[in-house]
Amino acid sequence: MNGPTLFGLCAAALIGFGLYGLIVNPQPLRKIIGFNIIGSGVFLLFGTIARRGAAAGMGGDPVPQALLITGIVVAFSATALAVALLLRLFDEGGVVTLVSEASPTEAKADPPDA
């Protein structure tokens, strides 16, 4: 067991956690966070591959590193678009939920200060 392998396994677990959160959490913002955790897990997995390619006096393979930087910026852009969509949905309806109409779960409004 060495550092890159350890963080590779950690990345695999993070992808699992994020996937679980994406499916189970009903609030859309939580789904966006879950999706971002999956994304960062994928980046970390890719990063361990970059680290394993250390050669020629470099700490890691520069090609995956550059793609990682690209990926992080694109992930931020996608998150910003998703959040903007969510806020517009909130402005339209005042309520934000992804609970389907077919299975009516009466949303018991908690007191606002709960």
Positions 37 through 76 that interact with another protein (CB under 8 A): 37, 40, 43-45, 47-63, 65-70, 72-76
Comparing CA positions, the residue from 33, 37, 47, 36 lying closest to residue 17 is 37
31 binds another protein (CB under 8 A): no
95 binds another protein (CB under 8 A): yes
Q: Site for another protein (CB under 8 A): which residue of 96, 101, 102, 104?
A: 96
86 binds another protein (CB under 8 A): yes
Q: In angstroms, rounded to a whole number, what is the distance separating the alpha carbons of residues 6 and 47?
A: 12
CB of 93 to another protein, least distance (A): 9
Contacts of 71-79 with C-beta under 8 Å, sequence gap 24+, read 71/39, 71/43, 71/46, 72/43, 75/36, 75/39, 75/43, 79/32, 79/36
15 binds another protein (CB under 8 A): yes
11 binds another protein (CB under 8 A): yes
